[in-house]
Amino acid sequence: MLREPRGPEKKVSVHPVLPPELLQFLNRRSYSLLIKGEAATGKTILALSILKELGDVSNYLYLSTRVSPSQLFENHPWLSELVKARKPESGEDAKRGRIQDRFVDARLDEPVPFFERMTNELMDVRSPTIVVDTWDPIGTMMEDDALLSNTKVLQTWRERAEAKLIVLIEDSANNTFDSLFDGVVAMDRYYEEGRIVRMVHLSKLSGVKVNRPSPLFTLDESVFQSFRTYRPLDIDAQKPASWAWERRARSTGYRELDAAFDGTLPSGTIMHLNVNSGVNSRMVLLLLSGIIGRGDSRSRAILFRPFEGIGLEQARGAFGEATPIVRARLRGKNGSGDAETWAKTLKGMVKKQKEARKEKRLVVATGSELLLDAGGEEEVEDLLELMKSEIDLSVIVTGSGNQLEKAARVADVSLRLSDINGTPLLEGELPWTEYFGITAKARNGGLALGLVPMV
196 pLDDT more than 50: yes
The arithmetic mean of pLDDT across residues 200-211, rounded, is 96
Residue 5 confidence class, pLDDT cut points 50, 70, 90: very low
Cβ neighbours of 136 (radius 10 Å): 15
CA distance 29 to 54: 11
Give 214's DSSP letter: S
Question: pLDDT tier at 295 (50, 70, 90 boundaries)?
Answer: low
For residue 240, whether the previous peptide bond is cis, meaning omega lies within 30 degrees of 0, is: no
Question: By the 8 A CB rule, do 167 and 189 touch?
Answer: no
Asked whether 215 and 19 are in contact (CB, 8 A), the reply is: yes
For the stretch 93-147, pLDDT in tens is: 443 334 346 899 999 999 999 999 999 989 888 779 999 999 999 999 999 999 9
Q: Where are the beta strands (DSSP E) in 75-228?
A: 103-105, 129-133, 164-169, 183-192, 195-205, 217-218, 225-226
Predicted pLDDT of residue 95? 37
pLDDT at 358 (0 to 100): 74
State how beta strands 217-218 and 325-327 pair: unpaired
Q: What is the mean pLDDT of the chain?
A: 84
Cis check: omega of the bond before 439, within 30 degrees of 0:
no
Structural contact between residues 89 and 100, judged by C-beta atoms closer than 8 angstroms:
yes
| Residues in CB range of 131: below 8 A, 6 or more apart | 47, 51, 60, 61, 62, 63, 166, 167, 168
Residue of 361 and 357 predicted with greater confidence: 361
Highest mean pLDDT among 129-138, 343-352, 435-444: 129-138
Distance CA 281, CA 275 (A): 9
Domains of the chain with CATH codes:
20-226 (3.40.50.300), 232-453 (3.40.50)
Residue 347's pLDDT band (cuts 50, 70, 90) = confident
pTM of the model: 0.87
pLDDT at 7: 45
DSSP E strands in 208-310: the ranges are: 217-218, 225-226, 243-245, 269-275, 300-304
